[in-house]
Amino acid sequence: MLNEVQEWKRSDAEKQFTDLLEGAKEGRIQRIADVDGTFEVKFTAKSDRERIGDVLARGGPSDT
């Protein structure tokens, strides 16, 4: 799921804005097509801690 892109039409993104934000928070880039171009929404956490999804994606034992 990490680094996946979810495509939206602008009208759908406006109607489902909460879903769009949650998808970004879960690690998926949200790409919104507009007649003049494309928007991309990406969530950046304020914490320096590593996201659990990134840890699990590596697999294997942890060195820490």
pTM above 0.75, yes or no: no
pLDDT for res 62: 66
Give the C-alpha separation, 56 to 36, whole Å. 38
Over its length of 64 residues, how does the chain's per-residue pLDDT go in tens digits? 556 899 999 999 999 999 999 999 999 999 999 999 999 999 998 877 777 778 788 877 766 6
Distance CA 17, CA 43 (A): 14
- The Cα–Cα gap between 33 and 50 comes to 30
Write down the CATH number for the domain with range 5-58: 3.40.1620
Pairing status of strand 5-9 against strand 37-41: unpaired
User: For 45, what's the count of Cα atoms within 13 Å in the CB-facing half-sphere?
Assistant: 12
DSSP state of 56: H
Domain ranges of the chain: 5-58
The predicted pLDDT at position 63 comes to 65
